[in-house]
Structure 1
Amino acid sequence: MDSLYILIPVAIFVVVLAILLFFWAVKSGQYDDLESQGKRILFDEVKPKTTAASNATVSAKAKADTHVD
């Protein structure tokens, strides 16, 4: 019976702490967007399209970097 004098205030403290943490999370925007992060993993990243000029530059750099011993 004596343990209830300790356990009840500790339980009340834990509940109040959980409520405060919940309101802090809502206020800081933790629950703003629950949908997009879960769906983002399902789609591939869109790769930027390269132009012919950039392809020529890349291939010229690749040729310059290769050397024959």
Structure 2
Amino acid sequence: MEVLVILVPLALALGLVGLLAFLWSLKSGQYDDLDGAAWRAIADDEPAREPPPAEAKPSKA
């Protein structure tokens, strides 16, 4: 039972550290853009290339 004297305050302290870390992440804007990272992961890095224009051949009249 003496171990509870150490474990209960330790658990409360770790919970407080976790809460403070969560509040800090909210304040620093970590959750502002939830969809942006998901779309950047599947988006193409380079735009699609268009085929070069066909060269006009001079017609012989």
TM-score by length of 2: 0.70
Q: Which moved more, 1:34-43 or 1:22-31?
A: 34-43
Counterpart Cα distance in 2 of 1:19 and 1:41: 29
* Structure 2 gap ranges (5+): 50-61
* Structure 1 gap ranges (5+): 50-69
Tell me what 2:45 maps to.
45
What RMSD over aligned residues (CA atoms) do the two structures have, in Å?
1.5
Shift of 1:46: 4.0
1:31-42 pair list within 5 angstroms: 31-42=31-42
1:18 matches 2:18: yes
Query: More helix per residue: 1 or 2?
Result: 1
Regions of 4+ moved over 2 Å = none
Report 1 or 2 for greater relative contact order, CA contacts < 8 Å, sequence distance ≥ 6.
2
Counterpart Cα distance in 2 of 1:28 and 1:38: 20
Counterpart Cα distance in 2 of 1:41 and 1:20: 30
TM-score by length of 1: 0.63
Identical-residue share of aligned pairs (%): 40
